[in-house]
Amino acid sequence: MSQRAKSRRTSAPPQSAPRQTGTRQASTPPRLRAPRRAVSVTPRASPVSATPIWWDLADRSALAPCPPLAAPLRCRTAIVGSGIAGLSLALALARRGDDSVVVLERFHGAAGATGRNAGFLLCDSECIDLAARMHGETAAFALHDAGLATRSFVRDLERGLDDSPPRSLVTWTGSVRLAADRGESCAFAATAARGLPGIRCEPLVAAPESGSVPYLAALADDGDGLLDPLALVALILALAEARGVRRFDATPVETLRATRTGVVLSTPGGDVTADRVIVCTNPDAARLLPRVGASASRNRWVPVRPVRAQALAAWIDPMPAWRRPTYATRGGDYWRPLPDGRVLLGGMRRVARRAENTAATAASADVQRALDAHLRHLVGPEARIDVTHRWGGTMAFTPDGVPRVGPVFDAGPGAAPGGGRDASTGPGRSRIHVLAGFNGHGMGWAPGLADVLAATLQSSDPSPRAGRSGSAARQATAPGLPKVFRPGEPPSANLDPPPPRA
Ligand SMILES: Cc1cc2nc3c(=O)[nH]c(=O)nc-3n(C[C@H](O)[C@H](O)[C@H](O)COP(=O)(O)OP(=O)(O)OC[C@H]3O[C@@H](n4cnc5c(N)ncnc54)[C@H](O)[C@@H]3O)c2cc1C
């Protein structure tokens, strides 16, 4: 029996996709046009699913949707969005003693990018040398620290947090990056020379993940791993609910209004009035947050834009000897083995870059064709390829590649950035926060950044219980935390100096 047939026998039976309301991250079947040129993919007997593969592998009972909000509600903390950012923040706040956290979600848990990604748990998005050149040393290390904090968060969950039984969530295989050009291979060498624990160049012959493609260099990070994003979310949900977090699915937040005493979130089921709100809605943060004030141009305060990423899942026979999450061509291509023996491959956005600047999630013919060709290139001409899933999802990109984490400042017309009055302490201003813009790296960064944000929020609680406490000043001192961009300041000015490194 081939390896593929063996793994197939042990795989979970296919299930249908969860019912999705709305259109934005919903799974509409991709209408794949016939390829212009023949792609050498073995014809399949069964139709290709447009559902992200995780939903066919998942224990759905753990992710059952909860009822929508049906009456007005008052709470201390309202979180908008039930993805990895919103849910890990809800758990982090509940663990720090916030006993009044409500999560409002327009569809259901993990309906967005969190239920559609590749499940790479990488500390860094780019290798450190490239990240430092793109964002500056301070931001690169702030984000590296967020990645390390995410690893610790997941390891704590695995050890059995809050009396939950220990379990395995991540296959800690380490990761490998493959350079496709000389500039990237030099960046690998410079990264390895920094001597960060576990990060090293390795000979290409030691990286079977490079398949038949002549990449130039390989950089390994032994601390990274592979996960099933839905299994992680299901556990976070269960732990958050056990700590009293209340969730409402099918509850879109339509507007936010800051008042002197709180923030009012309007939803079809009634208004939610909260002492503070954290917007964790991926690129939709830009749509929701301009409504904080009078001006539509306030969008610039949270400059996130939607970018589609696409992936496929396939059986390969013979099964390739891939073990690790693999990033190639500066993260433009990525692939991994799946727990049931299939492989997942994504990327190739560069073949249709303009068309991929969209919030639509359906797979497109151009990118999927390029993925097919890349997969063929990796596994060689003889292998049998049987694609079972093709899907897309929406990432939130920021102009500088740095996430937006922290209070949404509202300086009002004419206020000088960094000068004059402290804009963030105006009525209700520091009550609205954002945690978004992960630039395709939210599984690696969001839980780590959520933990820092939760710590900051708890030390600067604007609720009547905590009294008025100069929240903006304390938020500004969270070490290494990327902040909301203030127009007129260079991106690096939004970052505090990193904590001293041991
Ligand atoms: C194909 C693909 C592969 C990827 N691979 C990886 C990977 O391997 N590793 C990695 O680290 N990252 C990866 N990413 C990126 C990662 O998935 C995202 O960065 C991360 O999931 C973002 O989490 P989030 O919670 O911010 O957003 P989401 O998961 O999108 O959650 C936002 C939620 O907010 C809800 N929402 C929006 N507006 C409203 C509203 N008005 N009211 C109420 N709810 C609202 C949405 O329905 C959604 O559920 C990938 C992304 C894609 C698409």
Span 179-194, pLDDT tens digits = 999 999 999 999 999 9
351 lines ligand 1 (CB under 6 A): no
Radius of gyration of the chain (CA): 22
The count of residues in the chain is: 502
Give the CB-side neighbour count of residue 55, counting CA atoms within 13 A. Answer: 26
CB atoms within 10 A of CB 165: 5
Centre of ligand 1 to C-alpha 339, Å, is 22
Q: Give the Cα separation of 361 and 25 in Å (integer).
A: 6
CB 48 within 8 A of CB 385: no
Nearest CA residue ID for atom 52, ligand 1? 117
Q: Looking at the CA of residue 445, tell me the nearest atom of ligand 1.
A: 11
CA of 117 to the centre of ligand 1 (A): 8
229 lines ligand 1 (CB under 6 A): no
**Closest by alpha carbon to 449, among 173, 113, 144?**
144
Q: What DSSP string runs through 236-299?
A: HHHHHHHTT-EEESS----EEEE-SS-EEEEETTEEEEEEEEEE--GGGHHHHGGGGSS-GGGG
| pLDDT tens track for 117-138 | 999 999 999 999 999 998 888 8
Peptide bond preceding 499 in cis form (omega within 30 of 0): no
What is the per-residue pLDDT across 341-392, written as a single tens digit (0 to 9) for each? 999 999 999 999 899 999 999 999 999 999 999 999 999 999 999 999 999 9
Between 431 and 95, the higher pLDDT residue: 95
The minimum-distance atom of ligand 1 relative to the CA of 22 is 47
Q: Is residue 68 exposed (0-12), middle (13-18) or buried (19+ Cβ within 10 Å)?
A: middle
Nearest residue (CA) to ligand 1, atom 20: 442
Quote the pLDDT of residue 59.
Answer: 83
Is pLDDT larger for residue 161 or for residue 321? 321
User: How many angstroms does the Cα of residue 375 sit away from the middle of ligand 1?
Assistant: 25
pLDDT band for position 422 (cuts 50, 70, 90): very low
Checking DSSP bridges between strand 270-279 and strand 432-436, what pairing results, if any?
parallel
Q: Across residues 12-31, what is the average pLDDT?
A: 35
Taking domain 62-117+230-304+399-494, whether its CATH number is 3.50.50.60 is answered by yes
Our answer on whether the CB atom of 346 is closer than 6 Å to any ligand 1 atom is yes
pLDDT in tens, 271-304: 999 999 999 999 988 778 754 443 444 444 567 8
| Residue whose C-alpha is closest to residue 390's, from 101, 90, 29 | 29
| Reported pTM | 0.85
Distance between CA atoms of residues 295 and 291, nearest Å: 7
| pLDDT tops 60 at residue 147 | yes
High-pLDDT (> 70) share of the chain, %: 75
As beta bridge partners, residue 227 has 170
Quote the tokens at residue 319. Answer: 């099964």
Question: Ligand 1 centroid to 188 CA: how many Å?
Answer: 28
∠ at Cα 149 (144, 150), nearest 5°?
95
